[in-house]
Amino acid sequence: MVDKATQLLDDYGIADLTMRRLARELNVTPGALYWHFADKQELLGAVADRILTPALAEVVADWQGRITAICGQLRDALLSHTDGAELVSASFAAGRSTAATELLARLTDAAASAGVAPAHAGLAARTVVYYVLGFTADEQSRLQWDAAGAALSDGQSVLGDDDPGVRFAFGVRLLIDGIAARQPQRL
């Protein structure tokens, strides 16, 4: 069920991931889905959890390394599925992905390790998540847009400032520096 939904997402995108279409693909009536899921959001949350599973690999490192790793794994996971960033963003906002909640908890932990006051660590973590989701949704929509169209004009650069990975890392470092400045005092 979640398998077929994920496959539908990958093959046709989030706009075509409808309850009716999923039912058709499973050779059941639309109503049948409502015995397994309370509503569409719950189904999407389950798909989000599936997408996020690879991003839950544990990492042993200092707090900067943990944040960098989680951000990178999260972005990779989102980019691995058509409209992945958009779907996970929606499920995260609706609070219907437990995996997203777990990821947030780990970032909160890392922020606390950085010396951010307990009351603020969760805020710092959310700031990071908003960035990764926003950046990746943006990247993915451009990516998918010119995948279906121009055969990438390429432009000038050889290796650098317009590589999405490099651009992504810029923001991650910005956030890490901002978090570092949240320590009670610099040592």
The site for DNA (CB under 7 A) is made up of 16, 18-21, 27-32, 34-36, 39-41
Does position 15 bind its own copies by CB under 8 A?
no
The partner in contact with residue 16, picked from DNA, its own copies, none with C-beta cut-offs of 5 to 8 angstroms by kind, is DNA
Contacts of 103 (CB under 8 A, 6+ apart): 52, 55, 56, 70, 74, 129
CA Rg, the chain, in Å? 19
Taken in order 150, 5, 83, 106, the sign of the CA dihedral is negative
31 interacts with, out of its own copies, DNA, none, CB within 5 to 8 A per kind? DNA
Q: Which two tokens stand for residue 155?
A: 């432009």
Q: Token match 């409502």: residue?
A: 34
Helix (H) or strand (E) holding 98, with range, is helix 98-113
Among 32, 57, 61, 93, binds its own copies (CB under 8 A): 93
Between 34 and 131, whose beta carbon lies closer to DNA?
34
| Count of beta carbons in the 10 Å neighbourhood of residue 15 | 8
Question: Please, what is the angle between helix 98-113 and helix 118-147, to 10°?
Answer: 130
Taking CB under 8 A as the criterion, which residues in 133-162 touch its own copies? Answer: 133-135, 137-138, 141, 161
- Using the minimum distance from each CB to its own copies, give the nearer residue, 51 or 175: 175
- Choose, by CB under 8 A, the member of 38, 60, 119, 158 that binds its own copies: 119
Which residues in this chain contact its own copies in the complex, by CB under 8 A? 93-94, 119-120, 123-124, 126-127, 129-131, 133-135, 137-138, 141, 161, 167, 170-171, 173-182
